[in-house]
A and B are shown apart, each in its own frame.
Chain A
Amino acid sequence: MSKINKAIGEIQNLTQMAEQDQWMNRIHPLVKLLLTVMYIGVTVSFDKYDFSGVLSMAVYPIIIFILSDLSFKNALYRMRVVLPVVCIVGVFNPFFDKEVAGYIELGTTADGVMRTLVVTGGVVSMLSLMVKGFLTVTAAYILIATTTIEKICYALRLIHVPKIIVTEILLIYRYITLLLTEAKRVVQAYSLRAPGQNGIKFSAWGSLVGQMLIRSMDRAENVYDSMCLRGFDGEFFIGEKVAFRGRDAAFLLSGIVVFVVFRCFPVFEMVGELF
């Protein structure tokens, strides 16, 4: 029960964050969408052995977290469900790819023997996959936390993604909340009539889940009807001044420059050579 409430609360927090009036929220949604897509593309494109290159892409989320008032702690907390999945992705690489990629010196022992740790290609590629996963999820989080779903849909329409797909995305997003509220109601109604019972009896699961789905689908249909009755036809009108302004262009350009520089030059190594 309290878990459902928490989940509903999380979604609502996220939406409210996206609605705040911060500079990052005011950036044109299309700019944020494009940058996020580009960022994900660039990050994923690094070679799987290029760990330092992948790591250097962390610069974008770091800058955003510093400049905007997003909290990194909250971000980690909200992403906790997907992060383990991201970590599992590369976990078998070390077993398959045993080629030696390098050594790490651990110093010498008392009797003068050099101790080294062998790093295999598998370990490197596992780490870079994990970091890639983490960075892409973080970038998506930044987009969602600073842009309302309506604005994202609006941006998608600007680049001519078909109406039906965009509407579908919007409805799925809204459906999550509906499903959760329905789940809450059904569980509440059940527990009020089954006092002193911990959890839900297995025999009741089927009908409860069925009820939940039917009811939430009915409500989703109603919501869609309600949208259509008020003039919705697949186009999004987000109302606020959506003009493309100077600072949007500046943001987009600096993003692209950073991505290109970090993709084409081994920035970390170059900085290291300066010292």
Chain B
Amino acid sequence: MITAIGSKTVSSVSALGRIGIFSWQMFRWLVPGLFQWRTWTRAMPLFYEVGNRTLPVILITGTFVGLVLAIQSYDQLRAAGFEDRMGVLVTLSLVKELGPVLAGIMVAGRVGGALTAELGTMRVTEQISALRVMGTDPIRQLVVPRFLACLLLTPLLTFFCDLCGSLAGWFIAVVLKGIPSQAYWYYVADAVETWDVSVGFGKSIVFGGGIALIACYKGFFCRTGAEGVGRACTESFVASFIMILVTDFFIGTLFTGLYVGIYGFKSLV
């Protein structure tokens, strides 16, 4: 029992070590690669791929989460006499938490799995070895452009998620419940600060980069056979999902603490 726990710990620590080395190798190619035209021509089709795969689901998710938040909170807020400020609740939850997390999860599901499957298949059919034989670094060739695509597009997708959610909240509040539009936006503008928006986007950048690294790592080192690829995809999604929730917690704690330290507590009501 203890040895089982021990060996599990050792293997997870060494897995973390390997993914750390993998990330380091990726960054070593990334930094000079940013100034090379080739990197961007390789990344272009991937931008399209990531956006195309995820934008529709993200728009739907954002809209419905906005609707649900508004519906669920309206009665309580009205009972307290705060229904004017419904926009604050909806928008702030989306910008700070739900937008980045939901966009991250959608990217992990729609893009991360596909990346793992693609690279895993390349690994199993020795295409990655073929790249090495031809004197090309597979990390530079395959991982850097995928990393860039996820890193840069996840914040954009988060923005669309936030936008749809806020509009959905507005729709419930103003169109269905008759709250004055002006009041709705006044409180939103008052409550949502640059700080909140920045932390939200910061999170989404971290999630995007993390998803790409996890997905590519799992694909690169997947076991042989079609079964190995399938397993790597599942593992990749689960690992990304956990990474998103855990880093979300830590980033949230850190920046809330920082905010209070710098500006002091701010009441929203």
A binds B: no
Interface residues of A (CB under 8 A from B): none
Interface residues of B (CB under 8 A from A): none
